[in-house]
Each structure stands twice: as structure tokens, then as C-alpha cells.
């Protein structure tokens, strides 16, 4: 899925990605060979070949586990703390790729239709396939990391409040 630069705002270090569980499906699911990649994307519209959507050299494995078990009630957030925090530059679009080999259960996240004509995600029923099909549906997700506070000295802060 592609997340537009203007939706994220500024550059940030992404440490956690979360999906909000919707009302459909069950409360539990498991995934074998689960991986998350992040990278940069120059386009607002994706193509059907996964790797072609990345700016070359930007695809980064940020999370990998042989087995992931998820349990969440409707409206709860499912948080995944990344193995490797991802530095998002704040300029390009962010590409998030989620893969798994097999699994069981059906925990569905909320989705929204981004527009009728702009494919914002590529989906495939086979994780080993280099190609998928385009969809305007995008999972509701949250990216989290440390607060991006400006660094300054105590003297500068004191002078600011003295005005």
C-alpha cells in the first residue's frame, strides 16, 4: 500500500505500525512466514508488479517472524513493533508491503476506499508472486515513533518564555 507524503507530514522514524480491527471476522488469526517491508515510492499510483513500485534501493525489511499470532476485539488496535525502525524522509510517498506464506483465522482491519480511480494498494493471494491486482482500498493504519521535537538549549527555552 502507498501512503502519500502529505498524509504523513514530516520526516519521522517509524518504530510501530498498527491496524485497527474492524467488526468482521474472528478475534484471532495466525500467520506463518510474516514479513513487513517499507520503502519509498515516487508515484501516487501503483503498478501491478510489487518491486517496480519502490524507488530502487529503498525496499527495507523492517519486521520478520516465522510465526505471528494476532488477537484483537473489534475496534482494538493491533500493534507491531518493528525489528528495524524505518527512517521515512518526509518527501517521497511511503510504501508498505506485508507478506505471509500461510495462516489461519480472519482478523480484518478497517479499510477505506481512497478513490474510485487511484489504486493505492496491490494485493495477491500468493506471497511468492511478483505481481498482484490493483485496488483503491487501503487499510486503516497508524505509524508511530519518537516525538519529533526540535533540539534547543535550556537558555533558548528560557529566553522564549521571558518575552
pLDDT value for 117: 65
For 31-61, the pLDDT digits (tens) are: 999 999 999 999 888 888 889 999 999 999 9
pTM, full prediction:
0.84
d(CA 67, CA 38): 20
Q: Are 59 and 37 in contact (CB under 8 A)?
A: yes
The H or E element containing residue 5 is: helix 5-8
Cα–Cα nearest to 42, from 58, 27, 26, 28: 58
Q: Are 133 and 122 in contact (CB under 8 A)?
A: yes
**What pLDDT band is residue 28 in, cutting at 50, 70 and 90?**
very high
Beta-bridge partner residues of 18: 79, 142
Task: Say whether pLDDT at 81 is over 90.
Answer: yes
Amino acid at each position: 500500500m502507498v501512503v502519500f507524503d502529505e498524509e504523513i507530514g514530516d520526516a519521522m522514524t517509524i518504530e510501530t505500525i498498527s491496524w485497527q480491527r474492524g467488526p468482521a471476522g474472528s478475534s484471532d488469526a495466525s500467520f506463518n512466514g510474516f514479513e513487513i517491508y517499507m520503502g519509498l515510492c515516487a508515484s501516487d499510483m501503483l503498478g501491478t508488479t510489487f518491486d517496480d513500485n519502490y524507488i530502487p534501493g529503498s525496499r527495507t525489511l523492517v519486521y520478520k517472524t516465522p510465526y505471528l499470532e494476532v488477537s484483537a476485539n473489534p475496534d482494538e488496535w493491533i500493534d507491531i513493533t518493528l525489528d528495524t525502525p524505518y527512517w521515512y524522509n518526509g518527501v517521497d510517498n511511503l510504501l508498505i508491503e506485508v507478506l505471509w506464506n500461510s495462516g489461519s483465522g480472519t482478523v480484518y482491519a478497517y479499510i477505506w476506499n481512497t478513490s474510485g480511480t487511484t489504486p493505492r494498494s496491490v494485493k495477491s493471494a500468493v506471497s511468492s508472486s511478483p505481481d498482484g491486482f490493483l485496488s483503491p482500498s487501503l487499510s486503516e493504519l497508524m505509524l508511530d515513533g519518537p516525538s519529533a521535537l526540535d533540539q534547543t538549549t535550556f537558555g533558548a527555552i528560557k529566553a522564549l518564555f521571558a518575552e
